[in-house]
Amino acid sequence: MKKFGMMTLSVVFAASLSACGDGEEAPEEDGTADTNDDIEVEEENEVDVDDETEEDEDEDTDADDEWYEALPYDEFELEAEYGDGEYEAEYEYEGGNPEAEIEDERNGEDIELEGEEALEELSGILPEMDIDEDSSDDEVLEAAIDAFELDEDYSELEVEIEFFDGGETEVEDED
């Protein structure tokens, strides 16, 4: 019987030790334990933060790229002539590749933007123009003046648009 009691006591003691010791180190003086589990969680969180940042960057890039796909036209040209110079903006979307050029020679300046710079400038302008193939000439002119923030003292304003469905609009206003 003593043997049975000693064996039972040994098993209970061993079970107690194994239940208490799960591979973690003893708590430090501040009551926290330095465990491998904590390190793994931190590493996982770091990876998650990086992944989320990359996803956000991808979404921003996608949003930047999508503005021209939402336009109802694949070609847009604007020419505004003033007494002190001229403003021209050209946009073309062909085969998934947008191209743009802006020239501003008003007020004695000579500003030329091409490629990505011009596309970036137009990304805040062309989507604001609420026009389609059914827009009247006056609506096209007003939309262009508002979106491009043009002075209305031009001597000539011309807007040419080619829509995806094959329709074209050409509007000219002379003072």
Which band of pLDDT confidence, cut at 50, 70 and 90, is reported for residue 1? Answer: very low
Q: Which residue has the higher pLDDT, 164 or 40?
A: 164
**pLDDT score, position 55:** 47
pLDDT digits (tens, 9 = 90+) for 4-58: 444 444 544 455 545 555 555 555 555 555 555 554 444 444 444 444 444 444 4
The rounded distance, in Å, linking the Cα atoms of 100 and 129 is: 16
pLDDT digits (tens, 9 = 90+) for 89-122: 999 998 889 999 999 999 888 999 999 999 999 9
**pLDDT score, position 20:** 54
Nearest residue to 80 via CA among 163, 146, 169, 166: 146
Nearest residue to 66 via CA among 115, 114, 126, 117: 126
Domain ranges of the chain: 58-85+93-125+138-148+156-175
pLDDT digits (tens, 9 = 90+) for 62-77: 445 589 899 999 999 9
The rounded distance, in Å, linking the Cα atoms of 101 and 72 is: 19
Q: Which residue has the higher pLDDT, 33 or 86?
A: 86
- Please identify which residue in the block is written with the tokens 């019987």: 1
**pLDDT score, position 108:** 87
